[in-house]
Structure 1
Amino acid sequence: MVRELPPEARPREKLLARGPQALADAELLALLLRTGLAGQPVLHFAQALLDRWGGLSGLLQATPAQLASVKGLGPAKRAELLAVTEMVRRALSERLRERPVLDAPAAVMDVLRLHMADRAHEVFAVLFLDSQHRLIALEELFRGTLDQTSVYPREVALRALHHGAAAIILAHNHPSGVAEPSRADEALTRNLKAALGLLDIRVLDHFIVTRAGCTSMAERGLI
């Protein structure tokens, strides 16, 4: 158990003495969990959760139902994990509302990976931007197998007009883990760019999101 460790090795004391960056992922998670299971100290329990979801990113993507299925994660612990996830999302979104997204591509990718990298199904999202390319809103608009017949330009345009957006960034995940844009992705992007161009709304980029990272179609010269 944590209290059986030397004081300097206990996660809370270690954090206070050396800062949060000194803690391993399992130690940070153990601070939230506080207790483990019978026969499984909290540090071991924390590491087991990280192993189950492939790290912190995967754990933060877990749904309430998935968390509820884990023995030892009662309502209080699940609520804390979900609250931390939402705090991270809001903090990252605040960064994009304070400065142009084109000045913070890493922050854009962080937001997108947190929102959709670990989804088991495809999700299509749109970042709506003002005239200075600061974030107004991020919305998931479509789910399932995505192509130009299942993503409706009219709905994207209506949401853009609702937000008064001057530009947008498109994003969708590849659950396969392959971050390369497909021919269907290229066709969909051209279709949306042409439709939104009629409304003087620019499509700045289209990101393909996986757990390993994001691919920018603009950087590939495909926008």
Structure 2
Amino acid sequence: MAIRDWPTDERPREKLLQRGAQALSDAELLAIFLRTGVQGKSAVDLSRELLADHGGLAALMGASLSRFCQSKGLGDAKYAQLQAVMEMSRRYLGDVLQRDQVFSSAASTRRYLQAQLRGEPREVFAALYLDNRHRLIRYEPMFFGTIDSAAVYPREIARRALELNSAALIVAHNHPSGVAEPSDADVRITRRISDALALLDIRLLDHCVVAGAEVVSLAERGQL
């Protein structure tokens, strides 16, 4: 049965308008994005199949172009649309948090970093430059690719902190593997950065590792 033949209050679009987006399931939200199904399947049916095939919404949204296009009903155009939606969401949340957020708690840091790094297909090492009240001055991705002691340069992080007149920093990177457990290399990098910043009287508040919905704080673990 086509969605247009469903009762009005069960159609995803009408349900969203009447009850808000939070009332919809992952499949219903994805169906609105897809707009149409394929022969013999409604958009909701197709969405359920895609979510099952990819292992959930987060995995689908983080899929590579080649993996995404393996699914029937999806192609380059849909992939581009999805990436645009994700980037708009990141920029919106980033703008809101940058305007209002004081990074005084692990919870606020997690929310911001999940918005920025969740779903990145490669490793990204970023710095949050903060003022003396721990308000965000700027978020900047600094290094890309395989993050290890040879790929991250504390002097570059420190130089940028001076340029931005930053009083404190939080650094973060993601693990595309989906496992947020910090490595020994992560701990070593953290100490090198902290030592470099201490010479300039700038505090390193935390180093967070992001993997999907999980964020691990090295400061909370006493590894800073």
Shared fold per TM-score greater than 0.5: yes
Q: Is the Cα contact below 8 Å between 2:125 and 2:172 reproduced in 1? A: yes
In the alignment, residue 148 of structure 1 is paired with which amino acid? Answer: S
In the alignment, residue 104 of structure 2 is paired with which amino acid? Answer: L
Q: 1:125 corresponds to which residue?
A: 126
Asked if 1:100 corresponds to 2:93, the answer is no
Asked if 1:164 corresponds to 2:165, the answer is yes
Structure 1-normalised TM-score? Answer: 0.84
Q: Is the Cα contact below 8 Å between 1:93 and 1:135 reproduced in 2? A: no
Q: Cα gap change, 1:29/1:93 in structure 2, threshold over 3 Å: closer, same or farther?
A: same
Q: Return the alpha-carbon distance in structure 2 between the equivalents of residues 132 and 40 of structure 1.
A: 54
Shift of 1:124: 1.4
Q: Return the alpha-carbon distance in structure 2 between the equivalents of residues 115 and 22 of structure 1.
A: 25
Q: 1:87 corresponds to which residue?
A: 88
Q: Return the alpha-carbon distance in structure 1 between the equivalents of residues 138 and 53 of structure 2.
A: 32
In the alignment, residue 159 of structure 2 is paired with which amino acid? Answer: L
Give SS of 1:40's match.
Answer: coil
Q: 1:181 corresponds to which residue?
A: 182
C-alpha deviations, 1:80-138, integer Å up to 9, x for none?
423321232123223432121224x3343233234334444432111122222122222
Identity %: 50
Asked if 1:205 corresponds to 2:178, the answer is no
Q: Cα gap change, 1:100/1:114 in structure 2, threshold over 3 Å: closer, same or farther?
A: closer
Give SS of 1:124's match.
Answer: strand
Q: 1:191 corresponds to which residue?
A: 192
Give SS of 1:102's match.
Answer: coil
In the alignment, residue 82 of structure 2 is paired with which amino acid? Answer: L
Q: 1:112 corresponds to which residue?
A: 113
Q: 1:12 corresponds to which residue?
A: 13
Structure 2-normalised TM-score? Answer: 0.84
Q: Is the Cα contact below 8 Å between 1:174 and 1:210 reproduced in 2? A: yes
Q: Is the Cα contact below 8 Å between 2:127 and 2:172 reproduced in 1? A: yes
Q: Return the alpha-carbon distance in structure 2 between the equivalents of residues 162 and 108 of structure 1.
A: 23
Unpaired segments ≥5 residues, structure 1: none
Cα RMSD of the aligned pairs, angstroms, is 2.6
Q: Is the Cα contact below 8 Å between 1:3 and 1:10 reproduced in 2? A: yes
Q: Return the alpha-carbon distance in structure 2 between the equivalents of residues 177 and 82 of structure 1.
A: 19
Number of residue pairs the alignment of both structures matches:
222
Q: Cα gap change, 1:60/1:106 in structure 2, threshold over 3 Å: closer, same or farther?
A: farther
Give SS of 2:179's match.
Answer: coil
**For residues 142-161 of structure 1, what are the structure 2 equivalents within 5 Å?**
142-161=143-162
Shift of 1:209: 1.2
Q: Return the alpha-carbon distance in structure 1 between the equivalents of residues 19 and 110 of structure 2.
A: 29
In the alignment, residue 39 of structure 1 is paired with which amino acid? Answer: G
Unpaired segments ≥5 residues, structure 2: none
Q: Is the Cα contact below 8 Å between 2:94 and 2:115 reproduced in 1? A: no
Q: 2:142 corresponds to which residue?
A: 141
